[in-house]
Amino acid sequence: MTLRTARPGARPSCDCAQHGFTRRQLFARAGVLGAAAAAAPLLRTHYAWADSSYTGDTLVVLSFRGGMDGLSVVVPYGDPAYATLRPTIGLSGSQLLSGTVDSMFGLHPALAPLQSFWTAGTFGVVHACGLPAPDRSHFQATEEMEKASFDGSLRTGWLDRVLGVRGLTGSSFQAMEVGDNLPPDSLLGPNPELAVYSLDDFKLSGADNDADRQQWGTALRALHSGAATALRQPADTTLDAIDTVAGLGQASDYVAENGATYDTNSSLATALRDVARLIKANVGLQIACIDYGDWDMHVGLGPASTAGNIGGTDDNWMRDHLDELAKALAAFATDLGTRMNDVTLVTLTEFGRRAEENGDHGVDHGYGTAVMLLGGGVAGGQVHLSGPWPTLADPALIDGDLNATTDYRSVLSEILSKRCRVSSGDLSSVFPGAPGSSSWVGAVSAKA
Partner 1 sequence: MGAGALVTAAGGTSLLAVPAQAATPKPPGSPTSHRYLATDPVLHLIRRATYGYTPTLEKEVRAVGTRTWLEQQLAPSTVSDTTMDAILAKHFPRLNWTIRQVWDTNQFTNYSGDMMTDTLLATVARSLWSKRQLFEVMVEFWSNHLNVTCPSDSVWDNRHLYDRDVIRKHALGNFKDMLLASAKHPAMLNYLNQAESTKDQPNENYGREVLELHTVGVDAGYDENDIYASAKILTGLTLKNLKPPYDDNSGNPKNASWTHLEYYYDTTIHYPSPVQVMGHTFNTHKASGGEADANAYLLWLARHPKTAQRLALKLATHFVSDNPPDSLVTRMANAYTANDTAIVPVLRTLFTSREFATSVEQKVKRPYEDIVGALRTLGVTQSPLPDVPAVSDDPSWRDGLQAIYWQLQDMGHAPMNWPQPDGYPDVAVSWQSSSGLLGRWSTHMSHVAGWWPSASDKTLTWPKSPVDGKKYPNQSSLARYLLPATLPKTWGSYVDGLAVRLLGQTLRPEHKTAVLAFMGKSATGAITQDLTAYNDGWFSWQMPKVVALILDSPYHEMR
| Cα end-to-end span (Å), the chain | 32
Provide, rounded to whole angstroms, the least separation between the CB of residue 254 and partner 1: 21
By CB under 8 A, residue 16 contacts partner 1: no
Question: Are the C-beta atoms of residues 445 and 379 closer than 8 Å to each other?
Answer: yes
Convert residues 195-214 into a mask of x (bound to partner 1 by CB under 8 A) and - (unbound).
xx-----x-xxx--------
DSSP 5-29: ---GGGSPP--SPP----HHHHHHH
Question: Helix, strand, coil proportions of the chain in percent (round to 5)?
Answer: 40, 10, 50
Rg of the chain over Cα atoms, rounded to whole angstroms, equals: 22
45 binds partner 1 (CB under 8 A): yes
- Per-residue binding letters, 216-255, with partner 1 (x by CB under 8 A): x-xxx-xxxxxxxxxxxxxx-xx--xx-------------
CA distance 153 to 432: 10
Q: Which is nearer to partner 1, 278 or 402 (CB)?
A: 278
Interface with partner 1 (CB under 8 A), residue total 67
Pairing state between β 194-196 and 175-178: parallel
Q: Which residues pair with 347 in a beta bridge?
A: 62
Which of 16, 38, 299, 393 touches partner 1 (CB under 8 A)? 38
Query: What's the CA gap between 171 and 237, in Å, rounded?
Result: 7
Distance CA(106)–CA(125), nearest Å, equals 11
Q: Is residue 36 part of the contact set for partner 1 (CB under 8 A)? A: no
Report d(CA 240, CA 84) in Å as an integer.
Answer: 58
CB of 137 to partner 1, least distance (A): 11
Per-residue binder mask for partner 1 (CB under 8 A), 136-155, x = binder: -------x--------x--x
Taking CB under 8 A as the rule, which mask of x and - marks residues 173-192 in contact with partner 1?
--------xx--x----x-x
State the nearest-atom distance from the C-beta of 323 to partner 1, in Å.
31
24 binds partner 1 (CB under 8 A): yes
Which residues of this chain interact with partner 1, rule CB under 8 A?
1-8, 22-24, 27, 32-33, 38-49, 143, 152, 155, 170, 172, 181-182, 185, 190, 192-196, 202, 204-206, 215-216, 218-220, 222-235, 237-238, 241-242
